Structure 1
Amino acid sequence: MSTVDTAVPARGSLRALLPALAGHRVMMARTCAAALLEQGSLVTLVTLSAHTVGAAVITGAAPSGATVAAIGLLVVLRALMTWREMDLSHDLAYRVLAELRVRLFDGLARSAPARVAGKRSGDLAATAMADVEALEFFYAHTTAQLLASGVVFTGGAGLLATVEPWLLLAVVPVAVLLTTAPFADARGRTARGTRTRQAAAALSADTVETVDGLRDLLAFGALGECRAELAARGRKLGAAQRAEATWEAMAAAVRDLLIVLAVLGVVAAAAGAVTAGRLHGAWAPAAMALALSMLGPVAESARALSQAMGLRIAAARVESGIKAPTLAPPPTSPRSLPAGPLGVRLHGVSFAYGDQPVLQDTELTVPAGQTLALVGTSGAGKSTCAHLIARFWDPSAGSVQLTPESGEPVDLRDLADADLRTAVAVVGQDTPLFHGTLAENLRLSAPDADDRTLAETAALCGIDRIAPLDTHVGERGATLSGGQRARIALGRALLARPRVLVLDETTAHLDNVSDAELGAVLADEHRTTIVIAHRPATIRRADRIAVLEGGRIAEEGTWDQLTARPDGALARVLALSRAQSTP
């Protein structure tokens, strides 16, 4: 099982996600206002209550009705604002998370398949779900609260400066220490949070992988080993979580100790002020309450900052997905495709995966309406050609073009994505199916297809013989065989009525009879079809055959022409295929 990237995120990962709030300025302002009223009402309530008690003790007189009413109103206001702030902050947070998930999915789609290739589905799921969900704390409990606590502390400090400036000396140093402590230990908190998030991602990836391969694991008796691996992943995650929680508990104890020191300092300063006659005895409790209540929001903000530091890895992973580079950038001035049949041309195409070249100055032309079999040994670049025709990537040199029967060829890079997807359909060997009915899986390519067209396409591909169209297929088509999934994948592509159809080993799971049936279905003179296959019967049905070898088209021709060359490229491919299939 592969491991998860262990890189520690750079500074600014959380700040990079702040612009996500830009689209929610009104709700952000309401959340900040609610947080300010919630914190301000608490400070006012505590201060007024302390003054009332102090005045009653010093003067021996009961508080006035107005004072009692004010305290009652502050209690109600505090309760309402606490609820309102929590409601608004979480509403804001989940709205932002919903947008982040969409933007993350767009980033993955924009950079697929290169970004997805080599990645584990569980790791991608951890980023799309767990990492985004972890940021809820940042958006719900950090941003508005920090702003509100800053305003409350500044206002309280200004009031204290007019009442008894010496009280500030007991409060401000503690507030500074509380605020700067999370930043002083930012690197350590980030490292601990990184270990926790990476351990969680690894456990998620292993769990998804184990569930997906459960049948094979049971068949080969390997389930025990995978369970042991999952248990080890779980212990690693538990250790990371305990280390993070232990450190956070120690940090909380330090914050409490600082507040205790502040209490002692405030008591000493207030006592000195009363003794010196600078502060009336009735106001001493109020001044002390004001000084200490100001520290409450600061301490809570320090706790929130501490926890937010541990979210840097989640923020970095989400940011990386959102800002993934576009591998096939949209054209600045899209061209339109002419009506009628379209051919395909690879003109001087070169492509490499990293430093490994696959195609080198490849030339291939498929006239409109023709069926071409693209043949080659494993790794020759056949699937790469299919991906380039689908424009999952752009070639490093040369161009991939759609050629109308009359008029100029159109480079795929000049087409809007929607026009390309309408004209070209690529069906792979292992096309995924989704949890839903047969009809819903077919309609993925043409959501507006009517029931009659859907039924005709299903009958054409033999899908109606599998099950009724309202039958649920199970997640990833778990209830179907490989051949049945191939029929559904082909039907999905044909329902969109593409003018160019590319089949990348789509019929590999079918028997010879079923392969011949689908071959007859594909005999459409108005559609250009490129078939990537190893089976001789499938290759033979094509109008022309092109053999990829050494990154170039080694030979082209009909079945009779190419098989007449005993030392030709097709003969070598067929001989190798027979040798590999012989027990």
Structure 2
Amino acid sequence: MTSSAGILARLLPPLRPEWRRIVGSYLIATTSLCALAAIAVLTALGVGGAVVHGTWPPAVWWFALGGLVLLRTFLTWREMDVSHALAYRVLARLRMALFDAYSRSVPGRRREHSGRAASVAMTDIEKLEFFYAHTVAQIGAAFTLFVGALVCAFLVMPVAAVVMLAGAVAVALTVWAGAGPSRRIGAREQQEREEQSERLVDALGALREILAFGLQSRVVREAVDGTRRSARVTRRREVIAQLVDGTRELILTAVVIGVIAVSLLDGSVDGAVDAGRAALLPAVIALAVAGVAAVADAAHTVSELHPLITSADRVGAGLHRPPVVAPVDRPLPLPPGPLGVRFERVAFSYDDRSEVLRGWSIDVDPGEHIALAGPSGAGKSTVIALAARLWDPAAGTIALVDAAGVAYPLGRIRDEDLRRTVAVVEQDARLFHGTVRDNLVRGVGARTDEQLREALTRVGADDWITLDDELGEHGVRLSGGQRARLALARALCREPRVLIVDEITASLDTESERIISDVLEGFDGTVIAASHRRETLGRFGRVVGVERGGQANDGGGYSRSTPVTVTTA
């Protein structure tokens, strides 16, 4: 099993650009903690001298104490300011790295739950941001202070340093003793919250169905039961934490008593205690308390990290997902002009399931419009995803082809070039929360309002919606046909040379289907459209049938596609 330190270390590479700020946060925290310890020691030294010798501390003592108080005040403010700023940067770095990992490894291929992915991206990373921005610095500062206090105690009163070291070891052992139960309960707590997140995502995504079938009370009951289970697990974890913290308090008390005892025994002569040692004793006690208390605070923090370790493990797993598309090596620039698509003996399967495509070959000429037909599960949507390079095939080659027949394999095309060239509209295309304008300009750069309105006009949406209309989450206020038209308009705004469409006319009314079919028919470029509706298929001059097992067949007056040779530039 990977150690806790190893799990947390897996997340460090994305945070490498922030290492200077993390080190700076550690230095500020260490200076602040040392200033607090110095205030305690200096105060004890002054009070001890006043009690034993009956004299007030000298002026330099007052100036030093006042300066340390001011320094501690400033550093406390500065430490929180730096930590919060760094926390936002850590949050952004981890989320960018996670989203980048997901862009290379589409979750849908691995049949993952979107609620789990959302929980990792939001809840888990939010737990981790302050750990790397603040907690790491606090733990490092605590151990730095302990080492400094131990050295000072050894120079002044070696026997007190021995007691300090023994107390610190005992405190560290409490972390080891509580690690097993805390980690098991922390993992269980995280699992309960994860399952609750999945339930809520499902409920919110199926809100209409829940209302239609009268399932409100059941959803609420399941949510309440899940919350109660999570609360019970949390209480168990808190009880263990309180027991361990109580043990540390006892150890700290024992250290104080031990320092007093060994100091008196070591410094006694015929039962009398040297006055100088007596005046110094409060300062040594304060130094011992500061050092061991710092270790106790660090141990408490480490004990509370077990739920965090689970979150870090999940984020680390997300960051190290195996990619479904390989990095582009020796990229090829795409030529101007129309481009076709070529499949050369392509094979593909989902996870460990049987092959969806096997030896699948077809040529789509530049500017040609073809439709893919076949029963559900035959692989039409898979062909669409492969043509857009959402996934890489297990075998074979997919390439864009220019008018001269030169092929440009998708694996040799930079992602930004491919996305500008190929636009995809899926059956369940998601609209983003925001205005129509916000959705149309996603990823396309600058577009004028006139260009955006022209796209709305092309899909017949200009008479029922405006650029400033709010869509709601996933376009919830729109019908299925309206969402399909806006998704198609968004793709047209990219001005692609290849337009790939997956079943967007499915379950639409006749008017919406006609409008979308008109747009596809009039598109000046290559079109690949998957559909099972005869009305849509009838608008294409060439229909490619996709059989189960991945072969292409005669779907409407054409010969079976034959393998072709792929050339590279």
Relative to the length of structure 2, the TM-score reads 0.93
Find the counterpart in structure 1 of residue 311 from structure 2: 314
Q: Helix, strand or coil: the match of 2:264?
A: helix
2:111 aligned counterpart, secondary structure: coil
Distance in 2 (CA, whole Å) between partners of 1:80 and 1:207 is: 44
Paired residue for 1:12, among 1, 6, 10? Answer: 6
Amino acid at match of 1:302: A
Q: Which of the residues 47, 50, 58 maps onto 2:44?
A: 50
Give the equivalent residue in structure 1 for 2:488: 490
Which residue, 205, 209, 212 being the options, matches 1:219?
212
Shift in Å at residue 212 of structure 1?
A: 2.1
Instruction: Kindly provide the amino acid, as one letter, of the partner of residue 303 in structure 1.
Output: H
- How is 1:107-122 mapped onto 2 (pairs within 5 angstroms)? 107-114=101-108, 117-122=110-115
Q: Deviations over 1:219-251 (max 9, x none)?
A: 111122111111121112111211111111111
Q: Residues 555 and 139 (structure 1 numbering): CA distance in 2 closer, same or farther, change over 3 Å? A: closer
Tell me how far 1:380 sits from its aligned partner. 0.4
Q: Give the Cα separation in 1 of the matches to 2:403 and 2:93.
A: 44
The 5 A counterparts of 1:148-547 are 148-276=141-269, 280-353=277-350, 354-524=352-522, 526-547=524-545
CA distance in 1, matches of 2:300, 2:133: 14
Distance 1:258 1:337 in 2: 71
C-alpha displacement of 1:394: 1.0
**How large is the Cα RMSD of the aligned pairs?**
2.1
- 1: distance between equivalents of 2:419 and 2:143? 52
Correspondence list, 1:119-158, <5 A: 119-158=112-151
Which residue identity is paired with 2:239? T
C-alpha displacement at 1:113, in angstroms?
A: 4.1
**Distance in 1 separating the partners of 2:460 and 2:488:** 10
Whole-angstrom CA distance in 2 between matches of 1:423 and 1:21: 33
How far apart are the structure 2 equivalents of 1:306 and 1:470?
51
Picking from 45, 53, 61, the partner of 1:67 is: 61
Letter paired with 1:474: G
Give per-residue Cα distances to partners, 1:145-202, cap 9 Å, x unaligned: 2222222222221221122111122211111122343244333322222112221122
CA contact (8 A) 2:22 2:132 kept: no
- Find the counterpart in structure 1 of residue 26 from structure 2: 32
One-letter identity of the residue aligned with 1:403: V
Paired AA for residue 480 in structure 1: L
Identity of counterpart residues, as a percentage?
38
Q: Separation in 2 of the partners of 1:350 and 1:22?
A: 39
CA contact (8 A) 1:362 1:551 kept: no
Equivalent AA in structure 1 for residue 180 of structure 2: R
- The whole-number CA distance in structure 2 between the counterparts of 1:309 and 1:513 is 57
Whole-angstrom distance in 2 between the partners of 1:445 and 1:282: 72
Q: Match of 2:499, SS?
A: strand
Check whether the contact 1:370–1:525 (CA below 8 A) recurs between aligned residues: no
Cα offset, 1:9, TM superposition: 8.1
Structure 1 contact 14–315 (Cα < 8 Å) conserved = yes
Q: What's the CA shift for 1:347?
A: 1.1
Aligned match for 1:83, one of 73, 77, 82: 77
SS of residue matched to 1:361? strand
Which piece of structure 1 moves more, 191-200 or 546-555?
A: 546-555
Letter of the aligned partner of 1:537 in structure 2? E
The answer to whether the 8 Å contact 2:377/2:548 transfers is: no
Name the SS for the 1:327 alignment partner: coil
CA distance in 1, matches of 2:184, 2:166: 28
Structure 1 residue 546 displacement after superposition: 1.2
In the alignment, residue 256 of structure 1 is paired with which amino acid?
E
Distance in 2 separating the partners of 1:288 and 1:338: 78
Once residues 3 and 138 of structure 2 are traced to their aligned partners in structure 1, the CA distance between those partners, rounded to angstroms, is 25
User: What is the CA–CA distance in structure 1 between the aligned matches of 2:164 and 2:334, rounded to whole Å?
Assistant: 72
Match of 2:567 in 1: none
Q: TM-score, normalised by structure 1?
A: 0.91
Whichever residue aligns with residue 95 of structure 2, its letter is: R
The runs of 5 or more residues in structure 2 that have no matched partner are: 561-569
Please report how far the alpha carbon of residue 21 of structure 1 lies from its aligned counterpart in structure 2 after TM superposition.
4.5
Structure 1 residue ranges, 4+ long, deviating more than 4 angstroms after superposition: 7-11
Give the whole-Å Cα distance in 1 for the aligned partners of 2:438 and 2:134: 40
| Residue 86 of structure 1: how far off its partner (Å) | 2.6
Distance 1:140 1:269, change over 3 A: farther
Structure 1: 5+ residue runs without aligned partners?
1-6, 563-567, 569-583
- 2:536 maps to a residue whose letter is T
Tell whether the 8 Å contact from 1:330 to 1:417 is kept in structure 2 after alignment: no
Shift of residue 445, structure 1, vs aligned partner? 4.5
Distance 2:435 2:15 in 1: 38
Counterparts in 2 of 1:460 and 1:541: CA distance versus 1, 3 Å: same
Over 3 Å counting, the alpha-carbon distance change for 1:372 and 1:9 in structure 2 is: farther
Q: Between 295-304 and 507-516, report the one with greater CA deviation.
A: 507-516
Distance 1:215 1:534, change over 3 A: same
Cα deviation code 1:65-124 (max 9, x no counterpart): 222232222222222222322322333233212211111111112211446x52222221
C-alpha distance 318-259 of structure 1, shift in aligned 2 (>3 A)? same
